[in-house]
Structures are given as C-alpha cells and as structure tokens.
Amino acid sequence: MNQKISQLTEQEVAWISSQVGEASNFVGAWSPDDAGQPLSLPALDRAFAAWLESKETDTKTINGVINSVGVAFGQFLVDDAGLSWVIASDEIGTELAVHGLPGKGDILVYPTNFVAKRWERGEANFLEASFEQISRQVQEVAHTHATNPPNKPWWKFW
C-alpha cells in the first residue's frame, strides 16, 4: 500500500480546534461534574460512557460525537505524546490522522476511526487507558530507534 502523509491546511487546523471545543461542550452536557473544567481524558471517558447509555440513534448526532471525541483524543496524543496532525492518504481513501516518528517508526493513529470502532462495539472507558498505551508504545519505539539505529552499510566507516 502506497501511503502519503500531508500537512494540514488552515481550514483543517480550524476544524480540529472547533471539534476540541465541541468535545468540551459534550463533556459539559454528559458529565456535569466535569463541566467548566479543562478537558481531560477521564472526563471524556465519563461523558462518552454516559452518552453510550442514551442509545442515540440519530446518525448526524452520532457522527458529531465520534468526531469531537476522536479529535479531542487525537489532540491529547499531539499535545502529550509527541505526535502531529496529518492527512494520510492511500488507495482506500484520505483521513485525518496523528503521526509520529517519521522514518523511525512511522506511528499512525486515526483517532476518529479509533472512537468509531469502540462506539460500534458499545465500549466505554477506553480513552485514558488507550492514550497511556499509545504513549508508552511511542516512547518504546523512539527508545529502540535511539539505542539501535539502523545499521550502516559495512563499507561506510564514518
């Protein structure tokens, strides 16, 4: 599969920012104890779990929640795990993703798809634990690459 990684446009950056704002509103609506607090993964977990219990059926609402929660999750990966927002394209399509360690591990996470898959399964309380796991994996890959750099060809002595 031939994959292309592209930088975001200004419009895409603005959309991400608006989705993070929507995630804060979502938390305020579905986890009132967390309303007015800085957005956090535990608060997103609580709000998403409460929202799942509502058994929402409106497709537009479901997509809106998946987008805002997924983008907020991705923003935590960008802010705290050292990944960057990108557009990833291949033969199947084009999607917003977070990417890290280019050329050294090429970690790629599709945050909205990540949340959508859990919604399909009715899974709750996965954001904080998944963030910790992904962050740990990013650190492990970075450490492995730093301590075991790719071998130089035998004929290069420098």
Amino acid at 76: F
Does 1.20.120.1090 match the CATH number of domain 4-144? yes
Digitized pLDDT (tens) for each residue of the chain, 158 residues in all = 678 999 999 999 999 999 999 999 999 999 999 999 999 999 999 999 999 999 999 999 999 999 999 999 999 999 999 999 999 998 989 999 999 988 777 889 999 999 999 999 999 999 999 999 999 999 888 877 666 655 554 444 44
Predicted TM-score of the model (pTM): 0.89
For the chain, domain boundaries: 4-144
Q: Which amino acid is at 74?
A: G
